[in-house]
Amino acid sequence: MDAIVSALLLLLHVWTGTSAGGGTESASAERLAAKLLTAQAAQLQPGLAALPGKTPDAGPSGKPETAGAGFVKHDPQPGAPKVKGIYVTAYSAGGSRLDSLLKLLDDTELNSMVIDVKDDSGYITYPTTNPDLLKYGKPQKFIRDLPALMAKLKQHGVYPIGRIVVFKDTVLAKQHPELSFRRKDGSVWSNGKGDSFVNAYRKEVWDYNIAVAKEAAKMGFKEIQFDYVRFPEGFEKKADSLVFDKTKDSRVDTIAAFVKYAKAQLEPLGVRVSVDIFGYAASVPAAEGIGQDFVKISKNVDVISPMIYPSHYGTGWFGVKDPDTSPYATIKGAMKDTHKKLDPLGSYQPFIRPWIQDFTASWLGKGHYIPYGKAQVDAQIKALRESGVGEYLLWNANNRYTADAAY
């Protein structure tokens, strides 16, 4: 099991950074992770949700807890469409690329944009005078006129989702080292790609990100999507060598508490709350190191978005030698495990809206990947539909999407 967790965390390290799951992953790291996973794949399939003993969502009896009788989860956006969206960087949203992306939505069944409000470096992507944001944040003019952008999206009938990268925040970590993870010499820790994280135990960090979300909601975003809701990858191996404040709560409980708190703070504003989570989380027990428990997080959000890119599954997963070359089978397997995790939640279950792949993973090496286009995007959408999932988000770090797919 240690090999599995290590491989998962390595994969997380591979796709973290500026692309949040897009096309800048390291081929060597990907292959190493795949080898680690392959050693255990035969025992793990199909899925890990059926492991004996208590699961992360188990009650005192060891059986999964279900929603209490009479509970009905309230949807803050009951008039929202069935979301079929694309990821849009702040550069694209604030620049000349926007018109071509709007045309794509005008010409297809796509109807939503996930736009960076606080990006992967930690920059607030538009000018603001809000003192709650300026206390910790650093605005950039990637989107020079956010009200004008929101008006344009409304004109085109676009369902707007504001993406906020939470605990990966190099900007805040450098400006306020006391809110980050420090080395013994006082310097701010960063990962191999130069990214720093802020301390999820610190409520100031919670409130800052929620302040960003509140302003985004007031500007017209119908949904707030939190990404990097976790500790750094491999944190359990680093924690003892780093200096940071913490409570008696576990990392898993701390992350789940942030999600619950954010949901409570934003609900009065009438916006949905969604969380991105790595796709493997549905197929393995809770990732204690980074503090992510698929079920605990899902229970307290309106929408859960597992990143189930076929390129990010190692050799042998879901009975497929090279998952990237079999998008249909990979998505079907991922959705099977997702339903095993979430179905026991009953009325607490959120909308399932996965991130799917619209990029070519050439870094996997010859024979381990295929070019992605219409056929591959269609295959993923078909697998989702057959699994009872009608919503999805397309990821391409360069915002170049397949125009003729069967959306």
* Residue 195 structure tokens: 């990214």
Of residues 173 and 12, more confidently modeled: 173
State the average pLDDT for the chain. Answer: 86
Residue 182 β-bridge partners: 188, 243
CA distance 382 to 388: 10
Give the pLDDT confidence score for residue 35 in this predicted structure: 38
Q: Pick from 8, 16, 30, 17: which is nearest to 361 by CA? A: 30
CA geometry: angle 363, 365, 370, nearest 5 deg? 85
Q: Count CB neighbours of 343 within 10 A.
A: 12
Q: Pick from 102, 125, 188, 42: which is nearest to 401 by CA? A: 102
CA distance 247 to 82: 40
Give the pLDDT confidence score for residue 55 in this predicted structure: 35
Task: Using DSSP, state whether 341 is helix, strand or coil.
Answer: helix
pLDDT digits (tens, 9 = 90+) for 384-404: 999 999 999 999 999 999 999
Q: What is the mean pLDDT of residues 341-357?
A: 96
Instruction: Spell out the SS3 assignment of 292-317.
Output: ECHHHHHHCCCEEEEECCHHHCCCCH
Q: Pick from 304, 299, 282: which is nearest to 348 by CA? A: 299
Q: Residue 322 CA to chain centroid, in angstroms?
A: 23
Of residues 73 and 347, more confidently modeled: 347
* Residue 153 structure tokens: 């999206």
In the predicted structure, residue 7 carries a pLDDT above the cut 60: no
* CB-based contact 311:364 (threshold 8 Å): yes
Residue 357 β-bridge partners: 395
Of residues 42 and 264, more confidently modeled: 264
Q: Pick from 20, 16, 26: which is nearest to 362 by CA? A: 26
Question: Which range, of 30-39, 106-115, 194-203, 377-386, averages the lowest pLDDT?
Answer: 30-39
Q: What is the mean pLDDT of residues 203-214?
A: 98
Q: What is the mean pLDDT of residues 331-335?
A: 97
- Share of residues in the chain with pLDDT > 70 (%): 83
Q: Pick from 167, 160, 159: which is nearest to 229 by CA? A: 167
* Residue 79 structure tokens: 């008039």
pLDDT digits (tens, 9 = 90+) for 149-168: 999 999 999 999 999 999 99
Q: What is the mean pLDDT of residues 137-154?
A: 98
Q: Pick from 308, 315, 258, 317: which is nearest to 278 by CA? A: 308
CA distance 65 to 62: 9
Provide the pLDDT confidence category of residue 285 given band limits of 50, 70 and 90.
Answer: confident
Q: Pick from 407, 374, 373: which is nearest to 392 by CA? A: 407
Q: Count CB neighbours of 394 within 10 A.
A: 24
Give the pLDDT confidence score for residue 284 in this predicted structure: 86
Give the pLDDT confidence score for residue 70 in this predicted structure: 62
Give the pLDDT confidence score for residue 275 in this predicted structure: 98
Q: What is the mean pLDDT of residues 280-298?
A: 91
Strand (E) or helix (H) holding 42: helix 27-44
Supply the pTM of this predicted model. 0.84
Of residues 192 and 60, more confidently modeled: 192
In the predicted structure, residue 34 carries a pLDDT above the cut 90: no
Give the pLDDT confidence score for residue 127 in this predicted structure: 98
CA geometry: angle 288, 213, 112, nearest 5 deg? 95
* Residue 229 structure tokens: 């809701």
